[in-house]
Amino acid sequence: MSAEKRISAMNENTKETGVGDVTRERDSITHVTETYDSSKIHVLKGLEAVRKRPGMYIGTTGIEGLHHLVYEVIDNSIDEAVAGYCDTIRVRIESGNVVTVEDNGRGIPTDIHPTEKVSALQVALCDLHAGGKFGDGGYKVSGGLHGVGVSVVNALSDWLEATVYRGGKIYRQTYRIGIPEAAVAVVGTTDPSRTGTTIKFHPDAKKDEGDTQHVMETDKFDFNTLCERFRELAFLNKGVTIYATDDRGEMPVEKTFHFEGGIKDFVSYLDSNNKVLPEGTEPIYAFGERSNAGGTAQVEFSLQYTDRYDERIYSFANNINTREGGKHLIGFTTGLVAAVRSQLEKSEKYKKDKKTAEFITTDDFKEGFNSDVREGLSAVISVKLPEPQFEGQTKMKLGSSYIQGIVQSFVYEKLNDYFDEYPSYIEALLDKSINSARARVAAKHAREKERKKNEGGSLPGKLADCSEKDPALREIFIVEGDSAGGSAKQGRDRRTQAILSLWGKMLNVEKTREDKVAGNDKLQPVIASIGAGIGPTFNIDKVRYHKVIIMADADVDGSHIRTLLLTFFFRYMRPLIEAGYVYFAMPPLYKLTIKNREYYAYDDAEREKILADNNLKDDDKNYKMQRYKGLGEMNPEQLWETTMDPERRLITRVRLSDAVEADNVFSMLMGENVEPRREFIEENAVYANVDA
């Protein structure tokens, strides 16, 4: 294992053991004895407020906030595209984590601002709430942080350079932590037809944990996470091309995002590894502009059904991914369900079958009809409105009330028209929804049966729980096999570490419904131990452990166990991954005994380094080496020392950097469709590291 990974593991442990220090520091803050008078009232000028309270503007100074800086810059370019003035955007990450975003829009104006008496470029980059997004400015709809986007990026960068191509001239201004180094200057000429803006910046990242002069916790961008956003923007703005390049490695990584079909292509992309229902159909698509007493909005949606058992709905407002939904999403789902219900009510087919006719009148059927209609649904709903109201500065939820009615009536109208025109489609959808309802009712009965069996709060018999009550300090090891589980139980810290042993063949949840998952004898102990439910009822606040560590053998079977469990967590407990609670244990591959001293190596590179440090080679006979094939080969003391001791172990946190791509990979590798999986294996077999 590399030194960097060891340091990362040590840093994590340091943070955990430092919780008490944080508490004591917090206590001292409550005891203030200084005089509170007018001298204590501070006026933050310019961009000083952003540096003082960055979380108010980008949510966090961690990795999410770091990526938010890039999103704010590219959102300005997308606003130019929405206005009809830009069709090409280039994003490059250079060595040293310097980011450049270039577009071919109109270019930020550079003439003297009528009231501020400096260049409009400087106003846009240095003043909060300045830009063409207010009043009768340059945009009817826009994303960004209500006009504070680029200025916030400027404030949180140790340096930023803005270059504008406009009117045959090239203008440039540079800044240090948001402060101009000089006035906007003309630095060259260009073809008058060339227009656009280029923003180049480096985040103002801390040098170490004790650094209070700088703001961002890191400057290391995750290229895949950024590309997820670039892909979304290209889908949402058909005709726009986004070129993304990562120049930080030995070889540049380049990706291009361009989709002429827009969100219809988005839905097709989501379902590329799934069986479409009805077979051979294209995604349903509709676009229109509607108004009501509250205002006007453009509404665009596309949907398709597959043989999956979950739903995937992505909602956007002014190109912003509203991950927590909002009024537009409520309008979409309400309109969809109402349209399907109206088709069911006027269908004669289901009235003729006595059992079905009786079933669809029961309370069990009615109470879950909404979720039944959405089973297997892949959909994208995108709205554009002049003055959106978001809940929270980072815009995860759309709060504009009037949009709900507009979207609901639009979706209801368009879907009913489609269903009337294609009766075979709605018949297949109603069949699927009724079958889903039957499975849901069966799952409900299975859960009730399991709940009665576990009345009194009893936990699974295979679980050896810990005594600590605080979930943040508790961790559970899900261990493959009774032998390894026995060693883990003996070697653990009983105060904070719980052990759950698994046995037999795990269920591949990608190929089955929730009722089969909830009642599965291999997964039920996992569900009960974590204690937060599954699927739509999963509640992250009820999770009993904030570290769920999968500990499996370092062989093909162990990899299979990890993959099956990860598939289960992704499909039925995704917030567990999103919260950063899922980990892989990293047991050593080798034990080396050199001159009566034991060393553990976590990969071949570390094994070779240990040998080199002791002036030994692979073919020397002056040392002994054991290759661990399974966790059961270690005694409790060895398992504790190498894999479980928080002070010495290495664990890998599972991060979800690109949810859409991860979804496709799970569908491809774990689903029913064989051909995409075969192609993937053939293309990637060269990278496999298989023990002889």
Higher pLDDT, 353 or 454: 353
Question: Tens digit of pLDDT for each residue in 20-53?
Answer: 222 233 333 334 445 444 343 344 456 888 999 9
The pLDDT assigned to 17 comes to 28
| Beta bridge pairs of residue 277 | 305
| Beta bridge pairs of residue 457 | none
Read off the tokens for 512.
Answer: 């089955």
Candidates 555, 603, 645, 661; catalytic one:
555
Q: How far is residue 321's CA from residue 380's CA, in Å, rounded to a whole number?
A: 11
pLDDT surpassing 60 at residue 355: yes
Active site residue 391: no
Ranges of H-type helices in 119-277: 120-126, 149-155, 223-236, 263-270
Higher pLDDT, 661 or 145: 661
At 597, the amino acid letter reads R
pLDDT surpassing 90 at residue 621: no
Torsion sign, CA atoms 446, 516, 665, 505 = positive
Candidates 480, 514, 606, 663; catalytic one:
480
pLDDT surpassing 50 at residue 150: yes
Task: Find tokens 């250079």 and name the residue.
Answer: 94
The pLDDT assigned to 129 comes to 65
Share of the chain above pLDDT 70, in %: 88
List CB contacts of 664: < 8 A, sequence separation 6 or more. 269, 270, 272, 273
Cβ distance 157 to 164 under 8 Å? no
pTM: 0.78
User: What average pLDDT does the segment 445-457 reach?
Assistant: 63
Query: Listing from the earlier edge strand, what are the strands of the sheet with 463-464?
Result: 463-464, 497-502, 475-480, 547-551, 582-585, 651-653
Q: Which domains does the chain have, with CATH numbers?
A: 48-257 (3.30.565.10), 263-450 (3.30.230.10), 463-587+628-656 (3.40.50.670), 662-692 (no CATH)
* Segment of 125-134, 255-264, 306-315, 474-483 carrying the highest mean pLDDT: 255-264
Question: Tens digit of pLDDT for each residue in 546-560?
Answer: 999 999 987 788 889
CA 215 to chain centroid, in Å, comes to 23
Q: How far is residue 564's CA from residue 678's CA, in Å, rounded to a whole number?
A: 18
Active site residue 75: no
List CB contacts of 341: < 8 A, sequence separation 6 or more. 369, 373
Question: Tens digit of pLDDT for each residue in 560-599?
Answer: 999 999 999 999 999 999 999 999 999 998 999 999 899 9
Read off the tokens for 141.
Answer: 């709809």
Per-residue DSSP letters for 631-686?
Answer: GGGS-HHHHIIIII-TTT--EEE---S-HHHHHHHHHHHHSS-HHHHHHHHHHHGG
Q: Which of 12, 15, 22 is nearest to 549 (CA)?
A: 12
pLDDT surpassing 60 at residue 144: no
- Strand residues in 449-488 grouped as ranges (E): 463-464, 475-480
Active site residue 619: no
Cβ distance 162 to 108 under 8 Å? yes
pLDDT-based confidence at 5, cuts 50/70/90? very low
Residue 30: exposure state from Cβ atoms within 10 A (0-12, 13-18, ≥19): exposed
pLDDT-based confidence at 483, cuts 50/70/90? confident
Higher pLDDT, 16 or 638: 638
Candidates 94, 364, 557, 661; catalytic one:
557
Active site residue 307: no
The pLDDT assigned to 13 comes to 39
Question: Tens digit of pLDDT for each residue in 55-104?
Answer: 888 889 999 999 999 999 999 999 999 999 999 999 999 999 999 999 99
Helical (H) or strand (E) element with 133: none
pLDDT surpassing 60 at residue 306: yes
Buried b (16+ CB within 10 A) or exposed e, 123-147: bbbbbbebbbbeeeebbbbbbbbbb
pLDDT-based confidence at 148, cuts 50/70/90? low
Q: List, as own/partner pairs, every contact residues 333-338 make where C-beta atoms lie below 8 angstroms and the sequence separation is at least 24, other chains included.
A: 333/370, 333/374, 334/404, 334/408, 335/407, 335/408, 335/409, 335/410, 335/411, 335/412, 335/415, 336/303, 336/373, 336/374, 336/377, 336/379, 336/411, 336/415, 337/369, 337/370, 337/373, 337/374, 338/408, 338/412
Helical (H) or strand (E) element with 10: helix 3-17
pLDDT-based confidence at 401, cuts 50/70/90? very high
Q: How far is residue 353's CA from residue 344's CA, in Å, rounded to a whole number?
A: 13
Cα-based distances in Å from 479 to 438, 462, 526, 636, 645: 35, 11, 11, 13, 15
Question: Tens digit of pLDDT for each residue in 231-254?
Answer: 999 999 999 999 999 999 999 999
Question: Tens digit of pLDDT for each residue in 178-204?
Answer: 999 999 999 999 999 999 999 999 999
The pLDDT assigned to 673 comes to 84
Question: Tens digit of pLDDT for each residue in 402-441?
Answer: 999 999 999 999 999 999 999 999 999 999 999 999 988 8
List CB contacts of 79: < 8 A, sequence separation 6 or more. 133, 139, 141, 142, 143, 144
DSSP state of 55: H
